[in-house]
Amino acid sequence: MTAVASGVDDNLAGAPAEYRTPLVRPTLAEAQAWCKHLATTHYENFHAATLFLPAALRPHFHSVYAFCRTSDDLGDEVADTATGTRLLGQWRAMLHECFERPELSKHPVFVALQPTIAACNLPRGPFDDLISAFEEDQVLTHHESLGSLERYSRYSANPVGRLVLLVSGYRSEECFALSDEICTGLQLANFYQDIVEDDARGRRYVPADAMARFGVTDEQIPERQFDANFRAMMIFLVGDARARLKRGERIVELVDRDLAATLALFVKGGNAILDAIAAQDYDTLRTRPVVTKAAKMRLLAGALVGKAAAVVLPPKRRGVRA
C-alpha cells in the first residue's frame, strides 16, 4: 500500500507495516486516496457493490471500509493475542480522539473519516462496537450457541450495515432491523464457509449446541470426519442463515434504487456462499466452499440488469430519509 508520508511514529507498534501511523498528518486527499486503495484492492466484492452508489458517497464508504478493515487486521494479522488486544485498545483511543479532538488525528483512516462523520452525522457507537467484537475475538474462540453467534454478530457485522444506511441517509429502526438480519446472515454464512480455516487458527464458530443436537463431536472438525450427523447439522445451520437473509431482503423496498442494488447484491452474495456449501453436499470439512468468479460475474450482471429495469419501472414506495 502506498505510504502517505515517510516514517511512522510509535503508535500501533507491532501492527502490519501498512497500518502504522505516519509521523506527519496526511492531507485529506492523501488520506482518502489511502482508504480508496485499501477498499478497492483488499476485497473485490465490496468494490463491486460500491459501483452502484452515487459517486459523491463513495469516499465516505471507502473511509468506513478502511476503518473496518484496519480494525479487523489489527486483531488478526499480528503476532499474538496480547499484541492484538493492545493494538485494538490504541485504535479505540484514536477513534475517540477522532470524535473529540479531530485536529490531533494523524492516521489516514481517521483523517478521511472526519468529513464522513460530519457530513453523515455518524455516531461513535457502531465504530466502538466493531472494535469490541475484535477484542472479544482475542479471548472468546469457541462459541457455545447460536445465541452467542447472534450476540457476536451484533458487534462484528451489524454495525457495518447500520453505517451503510447512515452514510446513505437512512435512520429508521425498521431499516436497521432488516439490515441486522442481512448482516447476521452474511456473518454466519462466512463462518460456515471457513470452518476448517478457523479451526487451524484455534477458533470455532460452529455453535456447540447445534453440534450436541446433531451428535457432532469436537474431534470431527480437526480430524475432518464428515458423516451424516455433520451433514444434518450443516443443513440446519445453512437453513437458519438463509432464513435471516430472506427476512432482511425486504429492505430493498424501503431504500432508493442505488442502495437497493447494493444491498440486493450482498444478499445474493450470502446466498451464493450457502449455495456453494449445499453444492458439495454440505461437506465443509473436505474443502472450503467457494463462489466461483463466473458466479460472481453473474451476480454482478444480474444486479446491473435489476438496476437498469428499476429506472424504467414505476418507483416503489421508499423509506423516508432522516
CATH of the domain at 270: 1.10.600.10
Over residues 201-249, the pLDDT tens digits come to 899 999 999 999 999 999 999 999 999 999 999 999 999 999 999 999 9
Does the predicted TM-score (pTM) go above 0.85? yes
Given pLDDT bands bounded at 50, 70 and 90, which one contains residue 315?
very low
Q: Specify whether 90 is located in the same domain as 207.
A: no
Structural domain contains residue 63: yes
Q: Specify whether 146 is located in the same domain as 272.
A: yes
Final residue of a domain: which of 57, 88, 122? 122
Q: Specify whether 62 is located in the same domain as 16.
A: yes
Residue 155 pLDDT greater than 60, yes or no = yes
Over residues 277-289, the pLDDT tens digits come to 999 999 999 999 9
Over residues 66-121, the pLDDT tens digits come to 999 999 999 988 878 999 999 999 999 999 999 999 999 999 999 999 999 999 99
3 state DSSP class of 142: strand
Q: Specify whether 157 is located in the same domain as 193.
A: yes
Q: Specify whether 82 is located in the same domain as 194.
A: no
Structural domain contains residue 321: no
The number of distinct structural domains making up the chain is: 2
Structural domain contains residue 128: no
Q: Specify whether 158 is located in the same domain as 265.
A: yes
Final residue of a domain: which of 122, 156, 189? 122
Q: Specify whether 306 is located in the same domain as 197.
A: yes
Q: Specify whether 96 is located in the same domain as 148.
A: no
3 state DSSP class of 22: strand
Domain range for 270:
140-310
Q: Specify whether 202 is located in the same domain as 105.
A: no
Structural domain contains residue 288: yes
Q: Specify whether 195 is located in the same domain as 65.
A: no
Q: All 3 cell numbers of residue 207?
A: 455453535
Instruction: Check residue 99 and report its DSSP letter.
Output: H
3 state DSSP class of 291: coil
Place of cell 450443516: 234
Residue 46 pLDDT greater than 90, yes or no = no
Q: pLDDT exceeding 70 applies to what percent of the chain?
A: 84
CA dist., res. 124 & res. 132, Å (int): 12
Q: Specify whether 300 is located in the same domain as 197.
A: yes
CA dist., res. 179 & res. 169, Å (int): 14
Structural domain contains residue 133: no
Structural domain contains residue 219: yes
Query: What string of DSSP letters covers 191-240?
Result: HHHTHHHHHHTT-B-S-HHHHHHHT--TTHHHHT---HHHHHHHHHHHHH
Over residues 265-281, the pLDDT tens digits come to 899 989 999 999 999 99
Residue 188 pLDDT greater than 60, yes or no = yes
Final residue of a domain: which of 69, 93, 122? 122
Place of cell 482475542: 138
Burial tier of 259 (Cβ tally within 10 Å: 0-12, 13-18, 19+): buried
Structural domain contains residue 86: yes
- Sequence-ordered list of residues with C-beta below 8 angstroms from that of 269, at least 6 positions apart, any chain: 45, 186, 291, 296, 299
| Amino acid of residue 53 | L
Structural domain contains residue 315: no
51 or 255, which is more confident?
255
Contact yes or no for 192/238 (Cβ under 8 A): yes
Q: Specify whether 214 is located in the same domain as 292.
A: yes
Q: First vs last Cα of the chain: how many Å apart? A: 37
Place of cell 447512515: 166
40 or 285, which is more confident?
285
Helices (H), the chain: 28-42, 44-50, 58-76, 81-100, 108-120, 125-137, 146-156, 158-167, 173-193, 195-200, 208-214, 220-223, 228-248, 257-279, 293-312
